[in-house]
Amino acid sequence: MTQDRQSIAAGGGAMDGDSAVRAELARRTQAILDAPRREVDPAAREREKRIVSECRYLMRLLAGRRRSEGELRARLDEREVPADLAHEVMARTRRAGLIDDAEFAREWIAQRRARKGLSDRALREELQQRGVSTADQDEAFAALTGSGPLEEDPSLAEEERCRELVRERLRREAHGPASDPQRRGQIARRLDAYLRRRGYDGSLAVRVISSEMRAREL
C-alpha cells in the first residue's frame, strides 16, 4: 500500500508539473496579446516599397540579358534612387545570385569576339566602361583560354583572330588587277582602319595585312 501511495503521489507530481508548464505558456501568450502593438512607421513602409519596386526593375533588366554590377548601379542612378536605397537594392540582388561580374565578362568576351572580332584590348576597354574590375576581367580571359598552342599564348591567339578578320574581308573584295598599286593601297588602308576600329595594335595590323595580301598575290 505504501508503494502504491508513492506511485500515485509521483504521478500527481508529474501532472502538476505539466499543468505548471501549460499555465506558464498561457501566461506568456496572454502577455504577448496584451502588449501594445507597435505602429508600423509609414516612412519605413514606403522605403520598403521603393526597395522592392527597384529590385523588380533590376530583375526585368536581367531577364533580357546578364548585366554587370556597374551597369545596374548606373541604371539606378538614372532613376535617381537615393544612395542608401540603391545600396540595399544591390545587396538584395547580389544575395539572390543575380550579379556575377566574372560570368558577365566571360559571356561578353565570347559574344563580342564571335560577333565583332574585337581585340583583347578593345574588350577590356568595354568591360572597364561597364564597371567590371580588372580581377574579374582576368578571371574571364583565363577561363576562356583553351589548351591548344594558340590559346595558351594570348598574343598568338590575338594574331590568329586578326588574320581571320583580314582573310574574311579579303574574300569580300571585288577581284581586280593584282598589279594595280592604287587598288592594293586602297584595300590595305580599308583593312587597317577596320582592324584599328576593333582595337588591334597598329604594328600587328600592318604585319598581318601585308602577309595576307602577299599570300593572295594582291
Confidence of residue 147 (pLDDT cuts 50, 70, 90): very low
Q: Report which residue type is found at 135.
A: A
pTM higher than 0.75 for the full model? Answer: no
DSSP 71-117: HHHHHHHHTT--HHHHHHHHHHHHHTT---HHHHHHHHHHHHHHHH-
User: Rounded CA gap, 213 and 194, in Å?
Assistant: 15
pLDDT tens track for 37-74: 666 688 888 999 999 999 999 999 999 999 999 999 99
DSSP 29-54: HHHHHHSPPPPPPHHHHHHHHHHHHH
Buried b / exposed e across 99-123, counting CB within 10 Å, b at 16+? Answer: bebbebbbebbeebbeeebbbbebb
Least confident of 34-48, 64-78, 84-98, 156-170: 34-48
What is the sign of the dihedral through the CA atoms of 22, 25, 26 and 27?
positive
Which residue ranges make up each domain of the chain?
48-99, 101-144, 151-218
pLDDT tens track for 183-210: 888 889 999 999 999 999 888 889 999 9
Whole-angstrom CA distances from 176 to 166, 167, 169, 209, 217 are 18, 17, 15, 18, 11
Q: Hey, what's the cell of 30?
A: 496572454
